[in-house]
Structure 1
Amino acid sequence: MLPTELRDLAAVARDVATERIAPLVPELERGRTFSPELRKILAGAGFTGLVVPERFGGVDTDVRAEVVVLEEISKVYPSASTVLTATWFPTKVMVRAADRPDAPAWLPGVLRDVAAGDRLGAIAATEPEAGSDLGGVATTARRDGDEWVINGSKRFITNGGHADFYVVVARTGGPGPRGVSAFYVEADTPGVEAVRFEEKMGLHASATAEMVFADVRVPADHLLGPENGGFPLLMQGFDEGRIVVAALALGIAEGAFDAAVRYAGERRQFGRPIAAFQGMQFLIADMAIPLHAARSLVYDAAQAYVDGHPDAARLASIAKTYASDMAMAVTTDAVQVHGGYGYVTDFPVEMFMRDAKINQIYEGTNQIQRMIIARSYFPDVAR
């Protein structure tokens, strides 16, 4: 049972999703581009700054708050959830940097702006040749007096071209993860450019850009954390990030399942609702079973993370893998329940099916997650 404050937060998120976001979905799906109106709704509800703690002008929460918000919003429009997760990740990196003794004086002010909903962020980490292998980034940052000069290109940057700031991962030292640093870069800094926007299978109202950083100069104190210490700063957020993706996948599956149940009860063939036929009943049951199992697993993983349980990292990977695989299966079956109508945009299940796929890929592919899970049982031999 969730605490009262989390149940209340879920109710708020549910109302925002159903009353304010849902009416926009058809137009946003057709437009296939970032929506300032959607951003305004999410910021106005306090969701964009949800991960900023009270000491920096936000509210003290934990990953369970992120889970309940994403679950409810993803039931209606997964693209909106992705706008949130894309700004939460760099914000958390900045919070961790702000808690360090060497934190720059400007950083708390930026976090207060994020908490107020005035700034949207993006993490600029992935590159054409560095996806799962974050230690392989080729973007460089070299020190030049009291500035850093950043050069390189980034790929698949969510919120790219629309964010107010980026946390950029760049190489400041030797090869591998120990030579990587993180930098805060304002979006209007000369040399920062979104050169192309991806045409994606799903998540149509979430911008995904190819970014170029060409001789981008930032002050020396825009280094987040120690020089060559970016990798640990980033990795601290990956377990939490996997739980977040699991919650997003869970909400997608729930939205598709609810639509399938509703349709099966309303659609009539041979003089009866199709829900009266055993074949349809079994299909619905086989969707419900893993869906409920995934929800328990996601919330179990979130609680383990909050409690600092020794199995928290393993459970995060298990939750992400199971929930995203489940979402792909449940959304596919939801399309099947709808028959031909499931293949057209008159009903939401085709959108849920398209949007489900990415959850098996980002925050570490499910193949990477299976390696992590297995190696957690054999730390000395599975290398």
Structure 2
Amino acid sequence: MAATGPLARICRLSSIICRNHCLKYNIGGQRRGIASCIDPAHGLTDEQKEFQKVAFDFAANEMAPHMAEWDQQEIFPVETMRKAAQLGFGGIYVHPDVGGSGLSRLDTSVIFEALSTGCVSTTAYVSIHNMCAWMIDTFGNTEQRERFCPDLCSMEKFASYCLTEPGSGSDAASLLTSAQLKDDHYILNGSKAFISGGGDTDVYVVMCRTGGKGPKGISCLVVEKGTPGLNFGKKERKVGWNSQPTRAVIFEDCAVPVSNRLGEEGQGFTIAMRGLNGGRINIASCSLGAAHASVLLARDHLLVRKQFGETLSNNQFLQFKLAEMATKLVASRLLVREAASALQENRSDAVSICSMAKLFATDECFNICNQALQMHGGYGYLKDYAVQQFVRDVRVHQILEGTNEVMRMIISRNLLSES
């Protein structure tokens, strides 16, 4: 079937991409081929290969050349992200009738993996933005979808996800931010912590307490920047993810119209968790991109770096390490793509498989990036070399979207409940 709408736009743009059978991308200004055994195009449809090429090319030309600058100067690359939105990457799995690309979860994973080879931090923010747009698209009414989604899909406006609080991280159901109903508004009080894009974004998808204790007392409100009583903390100084600002989001008698509530009262925790299932696949996909780039960087370094009279590529220990890295990368990719398919199909095992994918991929991909840094020796610790930034940017993936300890809890709970 011929592609239509936003997908057709993505595929048409791919015609400008190099048609080499071997995909290529740019890290540090050098074009490198992808070894066939780790080629991320394996198993994809022709359409998926088309927009994967577009994403790789965008990563190479629009992101990788600026990755270090964005990191070191802490630049939020708004215009670059809007260019990505022109390719359909601002609302990848949002319905086309409100400006989205209408693609599947697997398609989304493929795109985020490719984009992350150019900049993990920026792609990770784009993944969060996509999650917020999807939540409004999925749980909003017609008026809300038409009001918010088109500007989010074009990235004319940017979104942030507000769940974590200073006193409730892994235990999200214990959140304290309150929303008291007063006439046709909720009066919002409390604070959210570690909010990606906080202060620089336009739309905040906020989980708050409208009822009693526990998950059934939580609702979801969309709060727009400029609303009186919406304030922000200082910009956090982070190890990685420096191309996206992180701040506390603070509500002080912040009046939010009832018309900005997504779904019914008490539905917020369900909305939050459904969003996170996809968010876990997205962030795992970003880890895949970093690991993929790091394997190639390590390979290229081994081929040119000489010690003891020969290149490091002749050292069997390092050959074996590289083989292990490649194997773990491919295993991670297969699990992430299986999880994406499970979520798309609404399978009964989707929550557990998404948790497995997030746990396995973020752990193993961090290890791959870290091993790649080790293979670079002292050079890997210099900011002139991209590998150190991949290490710093993916480390947080083991913490956010549910810590990997919580992923283990979800998986084990599923196993024990069915025994």
> Residues 18 and 168 of structure 1: is their aligned pair in 2 closer, same or farther, counting only changes over 3 Å?
same
Matching residue within 238, 241, 247 for 2:276: 238
Q: Which moved more, 1:294-303 or 1:31-40?
A: 31-40
Aligned to 1:345: 383
Q: Is the 8 A contact 2:136 2:148 kept in 1?
A: no
Find the aligned partners of 2:169 and 2:248 in 1 and give their Cα distance.
13
Matching residue within 248, 258, 261 for 1:220: 258
Aligned to 1:12: 54
Q: Is the 8 A contact 1:104 1:222 kept in 2?
A: no
Find the aligned partners of 1:222 and 1:34 in 2 and give their Cα distance.
27
Matching residue within 100, 108, 112 for 1:70: 112
Q: Is the 8 A contact 1:172 1:180 kept in 2?
A: yes
Using the aligned pairs only, state the percent identity: 34
Find the aligned partners of 1:330 and 1:23 in 2 and give their Cα distance.
22
Deviation at 1:364, TM superposition (A): 1.0
| 1:361 paired to 2:399 | yes
Q: Deviations over 1:177-214 (max 9, x none)?
A: 11111001111112212221111111110111111111
Aligned to 1:379: 417
Q: Which moved more, 1:305-314 or 1:168-177?
A: 305-314
Q: Deviations over 1:247-271 (max 9, x none)?
A: 1111111111111011111112233
Find the aligned partners of 2:121 and 2:170 in 1 and give their Cα distance.
22
| 1:306 paired to 2:344 | yes
Matching residue within 287, 298, 302 for 1:260: 298
Q: Deviations over 1:72-97 (max 9, x none)?
A: 11122101111212212221221122
Matching residue within 162, 172, 190 for 1:124: 162
Aligned to 2:19: none
The total of aligned residue pairs comes to: 377
Matching residue within 20, 23, 30 for 2:72: 30
Matching residue within 258, 268, 289 for 1:251: 289
Find the aligned partners of 2:50 and 2:285 in 1 and give their Cα distance.
17
Gaps of 5+ in 1: none
| 1:84 paired to 2:126 | yes
Find the aligned partners of 2:235 and 2:93 in 1 and give their Cα distance.
27
Runs of 4+ in structure 1 deviating by more than 3 angstroms, as ranges, are none
| 1:282 paired to 2:344 | no
Deviation at 1:55, TM superposition (A): 2.6
Q: Deviations over 1:1-28 (max 9, x none)?
A: 2122211111110010001111111211
Gaps of 5+ in 2: 1-42
Q: Which moved more, 1:28-37 or 1:319-328?
A: 28-37
Deviation at 1:380, TM superposition (A): 6.2
What do you get for the CA RMSD once the two structures are aligned? Answer: 1.5
Matching residue within 190, 193, 197 for 1:152: 190
Question: Normalised by the size of structure 1, how large is the TM-score?
Answer: 0.95
Aligned to 2:241: 203
| 1:315 paired to 2:357 | no
Find the aligned partners of 2:339 and 2:354 in 1 and give their Cα distance.
6
| 1:43 paired to 2:110 | no
Question: Normalised by the size of structure 2, how large is the TM-score?
Answer: 0.87
Q: Is the 8 A contact 1:29 1:205 kept in 2?
A: yes
Deviation at 1:170, TM superposition (A): 0.9
Find the aligned partners of 1:108 and 1:262 in 2 and give their Cα distance.
48
**After superposition, where does 1:104-119 map in structure 2 within 5 Å?**
105-119=143-157
Aligned to 1:95: 137
